[in-house]
Amino acid sequence: MRIEYDVKLDFNDVLIRPKRSVLKTRADVSLEREFKFKHTETLWRGVPIFAANMDHTGTFAMASALSAHQVLTALDKYLSVEDWKKFTKQHASALPFVAVSTGIGETDFARLDEVMAVAAVPFVCLDVANGYTERFVSFLENLRARYPKTVIMAGNVVTGEMVEELILSGADIVKIGIGPGSVCTTREKTGVGYPQLSAIIECADAAHGLGGQVCADGGCTTPGDVAKAFAAGADFVMLGGMLAGHDECLGDVIEENGRKFKRFYGMSSTESMEHHHGLVPDYRSSEGRSVNVPYRGAVKDSVLDILGGIRSTCTYVGAHRLKELSKRTTFIRVTRQLNDVFVPYVVESGK
Ligand code: 5GP
């Protein structure tokens, strides 16, 4: 057994220090990025934020709404091939902004092939809870060999050496995060995890050294957290909870005591496993929770709020483009970040 005594940081352990800036207005800030990927010839341009590939947020309705803002959606892996067919016909313009998700199960490859046969999907999101297994790496190698021109995002991991291994095995983008998610209970159930801000900083460094990219996945609760993830070096940021509760999400609106909610559950929760597999096998425990999140209407308003926040961050540090944000960032270690004295009395949260 060993102990590392370096302090590792989370989003709420830091703030971004403002810097002298010549930017006149946040309208001058561009959040668009252009990427060439390590293993493909593809050139992609857009706003590098993903809706998470969860049942609730990774929907076709989400993909068409977010594509209007050049924002990406990683579609839920359980969507049917028939629905993919319909989507590509009805929303062809949204296609450049979606990823098809897959796991490493026995039927996953065949399912992915079927989707790829009906839709020219630019990204594949190879997603497992634990990206440290040999089986995962060999699945990734096979996937790369089979789809040489598709951008592959693979994860999740939280350490530089594994980021390097995944990039060398065929990943263009490595997804970072173990345990930070809003409906994730991995840290409670297993004691495993890594504070997300430090994970992003260390993994981005490893990935960029090899010409790869990282996607910070999980743990953002405010637009400020999303800005901190980019400032820490994330090329992409994936959001679940921050996009939950909207019209475009899966599930009906629930009314309780005059308030409206939508059901949001972790993809390793009992609810998800029972829904997709009929049961939770005896050898594993649930590593996710189910929550009723306040209903929030159209996702557009939340997206504009998030993008507006990041533009404002860029203005504070003098970054004309999102690309410059991490270079212009100095984080300061803090012991308190928000003043929440009136939180119990809020009438309008401004989302
Ligand atoms: P959020 O943005 O809600 O904080 O985090 C979203 C991320 O949480 C997802 O993209 C996924 O990586 C992770 N996640 C989703 N469901 C579960 C789950 O049931 N268990 C765990 N450990 N992580 C989950």
Q: Which atom from ligand 1 is nearest to the alpha carbon of 127? A: 12
Identify the active-site residue in 184, 203, 249, 314: 184
Q: Which atom from ligand 1 is nearest to the alpha carbon of 178? A: 22
Mutate to test the pocket of ligand 1, among 54, 56, 289 (most ligand atoms within 8 A of CB): 54
Q: Which spans in 36-192 are helix H?
A: 60-67, 81-90, 108-118, 134-146, 160-168, 186-190
Query: What tens digit of pLDDT does each residue of 24-46 get?
Result: 888 889 999 999 999 997 899 99
pLDDT at position 214 is 98
Mutate to test the pocket of ligand 1, among 183, 287, 290 (most ligand atoms within 8 A of CB): 183
pLDDT at position 106 is 85
User: 177 C-alpha vs ligand 1 centroid, how far in Å?
Assistant: 9
Reply yes or no on whether 314 is catalytic. no
350: pLDDT strictly greater than 60: no
Average pLDDT over the chain, rounded to an integer: 95
Report whether 204 contacts 214 (CB < 8 A): yes
Mean pLDDT of 87-114: 95
Is the pTM higher than 0.95? The answer reads: yes
Report whether 266 contacts 181 (CB < 8 A): yes
Query: What tens digit of pLDDT does each residue of 56-84 get?
Result: 999 999 999 999 999 999 999 999 999 99
284: pLDDT strictly greater than 80: no
Lowest mean pLDDT among 100-109, 273-282, 288-297: 273-282
Ligand 1 pocket, residues with Cβ under 6 angstroms: 52, 54, 129, 156, 177, 181-184, 186, 217-220, 238-242, 266-269, 287-288
How many residues does this entry show for the chain?
Answer: 351
pLDDT at position 278 is 84
pLDDT at position 282 is 79
